[in-house]
Structure 1
Amino acid sequence: MSTAFFRKERDCITLFVRLTPKSARDAIEGVEETDDGRAHLKARVRAVPEDGKANAALEKLLAKWLGVAVRDVSIGAGATSRLKQIKVSGDPEALAVKLAALGSPEE
């Protein structure tokens, strides 16, 4: 698997995320590939999927993990789905370097 779980764009990166709400902890758990060959960043949050609470918790978790402001992270698609597209504003090259380490083969 390479960088299939994110896509570089002109002034941002789009992440493909599979979110598990109501988890025991907030965490980024790496990359998983589904049976159809698509890759997703696995994320867990303690928040419940009501009134956008889980989405807000995911945005905050990703912002902290990537070292960007929360305002730079937004749900692009999939607000009511487990599979989401998250837009992260910023330098796509710098963000790609951080994300590529996750997509590398497991040690």
Structure 2
Amino acid sequence: MAEDWFRRVGEDWLLQLHIQPGAKRSGVAGRHGDALKLRLAAAPVQGKANEALLAFVATAFDVPLRQVSLRSGATSRRKVICVSGSAVAPDEAFSA
């Protein structure tokens, strides 16, 4: 199956993610259309879920938090995340 939820742009990875905040625990929940669905234990208040998302992605890609940014979707469940300078591919970062 083609992985259409991520793409490489220069040295960056762009990720299409569907986020479920307020979950029992954080983790990968599988595909959601053309996005990867992630569950986050953080509540969607005052940016807590976005902060938790960026930290979760940084850990998965083994990069510092400063190399992960939210490109779009700050107030939406649908988000585009940019990961800079990671040698780890998205399908490896989020594999079970």
The structure with more helix, counted as a fraction of residues: 1
In the alignment, the residues of structure 1 paired with residue 8 and residue 60 of structure 2 have an alpha-carbon distance, to the nearest angstrom, of 18
Aligned to 2:91: 100
Q: Does residue 1:69 correspond to 2:64, yes or no?
A: yes
Q: Give unmatched runs, 5+ long, in structure 1.
A: none
Aligned to 1:24: 24
Question: What are the Cα deviations for residues 41-81 of structure 1, in whole angstroms up to 9, with x where unaligned?
Answer: 11111111111110000010111111111111111001111
In the alignment, the residues of structure 1 paired with residue 63 and residue 85 of structure 2 have an alpha-carbon distance, to the nearest angstrom, of 8
AA in 2 matched with 1:21: P
Note the aligned Cα RMSD (angstroms): 2.0
* 1:20-99 matched pairs, under 5 angstroms: 20-30=20-30, 32-34=31-33, 39-91=34-86, 94-96=87-89, 99=90
1:33 Cα offset (Å): 4.3
**Percent identity over the alignment?**
38
In the alignment, the residues of structure 2 paired with residue 27 and residue 48 of structure 1 have an alpha-carbon distance, to the nearest angstrom, of 14
Rg larger in structure: 1
TM-score by length of 1: 0.78
TM-score by length of 2: 0.87
In the alignment, the residues of structure 2 paired with residue 43 and residue 27 of structure 1 have an alpha-carbon distance, to the nearest angstrom, of 6
Q: List, as ranges, runs of 4+ consecutive aligned residues in structure 1 with deviation greater than 6 Å.
A: none
Aligned length: 95
